[in-house]
Structure 1
Amino acid sequence: MTVLLVEDDASIALVITAALEAEGFEVTHCDTIAQRDRLLAERRFAALVTDVMLPDGDGIDSLGDVHDRHGDMPIVILSAQNTLDTAVRATDTGAFEYFPKPFDIDELARTVRQAVGSASAAPLDGEEPIGSGLPLVGRSAAMQSVYRMITRVLRNDLTVLVLGESGTGKELVAEAIHQLGHRRAGPFIAVNTAAIPAELIESELFGHEKGAFTGAVARHLGKFEQAAGGTLFLDEIGDMPMQAQTRLLRALQSGSVRRVGGRDEVRVDARIIAATNKDLQPMIAAGQFREDLYYRLNVVPIAMPPLRERSDDVPALARHFLHLATTEGLPRRYLTDRAAILLGQQPWRGNVRELKNFIYRLALLAREEAIDIDAVAPLLPEDGDGPASGEDGESFDLETAVRRWLTSERPAAGTIHETALLAFEKPLFALVLQETGGNQVRAAQALGINRNTLRKRLGELGLDPEQFVRRP
């Protein structure tokens, strides 16, 4: 069996050829679209492995005729243009697989072997081309797995669970799946389950009948019915009350809902995408989240990487947000390379959301059209993610900090461990309470300790959680 390889980089072609030959294939190599078409006209090939950017055109755009004439030949696409747009275009052609560069050469060889032996490599007929309007930005390796997972769920209705820290763009993943999938003509309904009072969440999700409770003056369609034919996005699913979790599980299992105060089952037709910034496994162990609901939602997990793990994307994101800022009435600005490098070195604890807010503030306050390092530096937070600094400005790490603490405090022998724990716990608990707005339940979950233990330790440390409550 012979594989046709279209790749204009000779060194990459050599490595791919060796890997495919190790799998038992013969390889015919060419480096242009014209040569590819001539070879395909002359003979049959078991599979086509092609790059996207070729000397005489776009390897994806030119695949239409290939599919028409060789519909049973599986195609594997390679690309250094590592964007969601490229991944979607590759998948939309009916390609068996898409590999963003750099890729695992052994995985590529195994995939070609699978493609040749698969009867599902033929393209899908009757589908409209997927358009643009892509909400995600980034070409880092961390985002490539996200793009590949998104492309795998576009032509089916499998339930997706998007995982990731707050501010990483979980809702954007849901929007991308909706916009690019076969339900894009239907509505996209987003629900923040953490923002709905516990006593109202069932009515919001499943609807209610007139007179179901005080104030129910008319029938109300819930989010499940509103999302009919489209996508229902359940954000912050980890904060859903247990009673609502039971009702949600029943709706997912039966494919129908019953309005509050109603008797009839109403069939629903909506794709379900859920998201959470919490680790649900410890919550399951603590009895705070239903295990059966977790497995019902976690059919296809997609993990959004934090921005600190995709720092290469920061410049592109920053320039994207500068463009968005102009559409919202802010002055037109552009970012210099030095400023982009500086932004990429920041920790961005608030992830993409924090970066966006920073860029908007920068666009508003910058005095020059060109935003250079001198405009960026004064707006950066002083408490960076790097090593701590002493009063003399000297940087030091945690080990140095402990050594200095021992020198300055000189705790009595036999009390060092207890005294050190007290000294460490107080600022630690204060910082966690500050991040949770004084919410002891969330603080205990973040710390991984029992709420009663937290309350006891706060009393011993003299910390009042009320002082951390965010007031309007």
Structure 2
Amino acid sequence: MTVLLVEDDASIALVITAALEAEGFAVVRCETIAERDALLLEGDFSALVTDVMLPDGDGIETLAYVSRNYPELPVVILSAQNTLDTAVRATDTGAFEYFPKPFDIDELARTVRQAVGASKTTRDRGGEPAGDGLPLVGRSAAMQAVFRMITRVLRNDLTVLILGESGTGKELVAEAVHQLGHRQSGPFIAVNTAAIPAELIESELFGHEKGAFTGAVARHIGKFEQAGGGTLFLDEIGDMPMQAQTRLLRALQSGAIRRVGGRDEVRLDVRIIAATNKDLQPLIAAGQFREDLYYRLNVVPISMPPLRDRPDDIEALARHFLQLAAGEGLPQRQLTPAAAALLSQQTWRGNVRELRNFIYRLVLLAREDVIDIDTVAPLLPKDDASTADEEAGRDGLERAVVRWLSEVRPGAGSIYETALAAFERPLFSQVLHETGGNQLRAAQALGINRNTLRKRLADLNLDPDTFARRV
């Protein structure tokens, strides 16, 4: 079995060749598209592994010739152009797999082995390659995983569950799946299930008949029917009321819905994509989310990384938002490398949404066309004491500890006891205040023994009666 490797980087080609030979393949290497086509005419190859950027052209654009003349030849594509556009274009060629650089060489070798051993792959070309203007930006490893998952669901109707913090771009992923998939000619209907009152959510999703309830003066077509032939995006699915969850599960199981107050079933022709910023497992354990619905929705999970896990993408995102701002009528601005580096060092708790808003504000307030570090720095969130005290979560607590150590500077050998007392005093005070000085209830709330609490209160010189008098 022989693999044709099209790679102009000698060092990368050497590593790939060694890995493929370890899998039992013979490897023939060339560096250009012209050499590739000549070798395909002369030889009998089991697989083609090709880079995208080659000295004489785009490796993806020229794969139409390969697919047309060698339809049973599996193709594996390598690329340093790690964008969603490249991933989708690679998938549209009918390639067996796409690997963004850098990649795991052993995984590549195993994939080639699978490609050769697999039966002929059905090659659904799905129209012209997607162009620029795609909604997702990022070349980090985390985003490459997202892009690869997106390409796997474009030619099917599997239900997708998008997970991630607020502001990470979950709706953009849903839009990308719709716009690039085979349902792109149909409608894309987005529903924020958390924004609909519980008593109206069934009517909004499934519709209602005239007279179904007070105020139902006419038949109403719900979101499921509105999305017919297209995609229904259910955002914030973790906040959906339990009764609506039951109706949704029934619809997914049966492929049909019944309008509120109606008797006839309406068959569905819609792809379902759901999203949530919550961890659904604790909700399932608490009886607030149906486990069977979770497994119905979680067919293909796509996890959106927070921006703090992809700092390498911040500069590209910032420049992307500068272009968007200019397209919306704001001044055309440019970002200096130093300013971009400063932005990349920030945490961006609000994720991509916060960065976008900051860039738009920066464009509006900047006085020069070129935005430098002196323009950016004053607009960044201040990490002062008052801000740190208001921040919730682990990061805020860690910063408070660091600040406390720098300000108090306890002596060697006493740091732990001093820090423990500093932490316990406000903690115990707050809990005692909430329990009206009742030590038994306070100990139960804290999860410690009552005698332990009593001893620590004595050590800290805290009088429970003081809190009792405040009630």
The one-character-per-residue Cα deviations of 1:129-181 (angstroms, maximum 9, x if unpaired) are 24334110111111000000000000000000000000000000000000000
Q: How does 1:31-430 map to 2 (within 5 A)?
A: 31-124=31-124, 127-132=126-131, 133-383=133-383, 398=401, 401=404, 420-421=423-424, 423=426
1:404: Cα distance to partner?
6.2
Aligned partners of 1:425, 1:175: CA distance in 2, in Å? 49
Instruction: Give the corresponding residue for 1:448.
Output: none
Identity %: 74
Aligned partners of 1:375, 1:403: CA distance in 2, in Å? 30
Q: Which amino acid aligns with 1:219?
A: R
SS at match of 1:221: coil
1:53–1:79: 8 Å Cα contact kept in structure 2? Answer: yes
Q: Which amino acid aligns with 1:183?
A: R
1:128: Cα distance to partner?
1.9
Which stretch shifts more, 323-332 or 304-313?
323-332
Which stretch shifts more, 113-122 or 62-71?
113-122
1:398: Cα distance to partner?
2.6
Aligned partners of 1:42, 1:113: CA distance in 2, in Å? 23
Instruction: Give the corresponding residue for 1:439.
Output: none
With over 3 angstroms needed to count, the CA separation of the structure-2 counterparts of 1:453 and 1:289, relative to structure 1, is farther
The one-character-per-residue Cα deviations of 1:344-380 (angstroms, maximum 9, x if unpaired) are 0000000000000000000000000000101100000
1:287: Cα distance to partner?
0.7
With over 3 angstroms needed to count, the CA separation of the structure-2 counterparts of 1:397 and 1:263, relative to structure 1, is closer
Aligned partners of 1:278, 1:48: CA distance in 2, in Å? 42
1:119: Cα distance to partner?
1.1
1:421: Cα distance to partner?
3.7
Q: Which amino acid aligns with 2:89?
A: R
Aligned partners of 2:57, 2:429: CA distance in 1, in Å? 62
SS at match of 1:36: helix
Aligned partners of 2:40, 2:164: CA distance in 1, in Å? 45
The one-character-per-residue Cα deviations of 1:229-272 (angstroms, maximum 9, x if unpaired) are 00000000000011110110001000111111111111111100
SS at match of 1:150: helix
2:85–2:130: 8 Å Cα contact kept in structure 1? Answer: no
SS at match of 2:282: helix
Q: Which amino acid aligns with 1:33?
A: I
With over 3 angstroms needed to count, the CA separation of the structure-2 counterparts of 1:424 and 1:35, relative to structure 1, is farther
1:383: Cα distance to partner?
1.6
1:69: Cα distance to partner?
0.9
Aligned partners of 1:406, 1:297: CA distance in 2, in Å? 52
With over 3 angstroms needed to count, the CA separation of the structure-2 counterparts of 1:145 and 1:128, relative to structure 1, is same
2:88–2:130: 8 Å Cα contact kept in structure 1? Answer: no
Q: Which amino acid aligns with 1:89?
A: R
SS at match of 2:78: strand
Aligned partners of 2:423, 2:372: CA distance in 1, in Å? 44
1:401: Cα distance to partner?
2.7
1:416: Cα distance to partner?
8.5
SS at match of 1:208: coil
The one-character-per-residue Cα deviations of 1:379-406 (angstroms, maximum 9, x if unpaired) are 0001289x989xxxxx987367369669
Q: Which amino acid aligns with 2:404?
A: A
Let me know the Cα RMSD of the aligned residues: 2.8
Q: Which amino acid aligns with 1:188?
A: F
SS at match of 1:233: strand
TM-score in terms of structure 1 length: 0.85
1:78–1:101: 8 Å Cα contact kept in structure 2? Answer: yes
With over 3 angstroms needed to count, the CA separation of the structure-2 counterparts of 1:402 and 1:244, relative to structure 1, is farther
Unaligned runs of 5+ in 2: 390-397, 432-443, 447-463
With over 3 angstroms needed to count, the CA separation of the structure-2 counterparts of 1:39 and 1:415, relative to structure 1, is closer
Higher Rg: 2
Aligned partners of 2:41, 2:290: CA distance in 1, in Å? 58
1:316: Cα distance to partner?
0.8
1:201: Cα distance to partner?
0.4
Q: Which amino acid aligns with 1:327?
A: G
2:308–2:351: 8 Å Cα contact kept in structure 1? Answer: yes
For this pair of structures, how many residues does the alignment match? 424
Which stretch shifts more, 311-320 or 100-109?
311-320
Aligned partners of 1:239, 1:226: CA distance in 2, in Å? 22
1:130–1:180: 8 Å Cα contact kept in structure 2? Answer: no
1:325–1:331: 8 Å Cα contact kept in structure 2? Answer: yes
TM-score in terms of structure 2 length: 0.85
SS at match of 1:175: helix
Unaligned runs of 5+ in 1: 390-394, 429-451, 455-459, 463-472
SS at match of 1:401: helix
1:453: Cα distance to partner?
6.1
Instruction: Give the corresponding residue for 2:20.
Output: 20
SS at match of 1:213: coil
Aligned partners of 1:371, 1:399: CA distance in 2, in Å? 32
Q: Which amino acid aligns with 1:345?
A: Q
Aligned partners of 1:144, 1:424: CA distance in 2, in Å? 44
